[in-house]
Amino acid sequence: ETTGYPYNMMLGDEHMRRESLDMIKLAMDMAKEMNAGYTLISAAHAGYLTPPNVIWGRLAENLSELCEYAENIGMDLILEPLTPYESNVVCNANDVLHALALVPSPRLFSMVDICAPYVQAEPVMSYFDKLGDKLRHLHIVDSDGASDTHYIPGEGKMPLRELMRDIIDRGYEGYCTVELVTMY
């Protein structure tokens, strides 16, 4: 978990950043040992007072280091956009595109936790349109549309049946998991 103290590569001093990157690299090593194929990370929160140019510069530096490591060990890295309640760095499909452009690594991919676009009134399918083959994983949850709370599918307000049909019609064959991180 790299979304809060003491592990957040986007916040804190150099010592905290270094420990966070080392922890992610350890997770990558463990994923490789288990033949997991990839390690999923997020950019977390960079602090409310951090200027955008500093945020994106730090993200580029961190992702560059992690992608170099991923390339050396033969692992893929998947960047998860979060809701604006959780992060001020990578929160939507355009942010993901920006991050991928900053660090054009063959080992860097992304995913969509369908709660993140839903609470921002961003069409979930925009991730499929914009990311193409860089989209490798889905978190399937339900949402109230007003918070980052992850509900059991069917207990929130998302039109999940229609969304699942759209995803199937798109021909998505990547991974998906149910992510219940709040209330359960």
Among 19, 65, 71, 179, the active-site one is: 179
* Contact in structure between 92 and 120 (CB atoms under 8 Å): yes
Question: CA-CA distances (angstroms) from residue 42 to 9, 54, 94?
Answer: 9, 17, 15
Strands of the 38-42 sheet, one edge to the other: 38-42, 76-80, 108-113, 135-140, 175-178
d(CA 179, CA 140): 6
179 noted as active-site residue: yes
71 noted as active-site residue: no
Among 68, 80, 162, 173, the active-site one is: 80
* Contact in structure between 127 and 135 (CB atoms under 8 Å): yes
Beta strands in the chain, from DSSP E residues, in sequence order:
38-42, 76-80, 108-113, 135-140, 175-178
Question: CA-CA distances (angstroms) from residue 130 to 28, 63, 124, 153, 156?
Answer: 26, 20, 11, 25, 26
Q: Give me the active site residues, please.
A: 80, 179
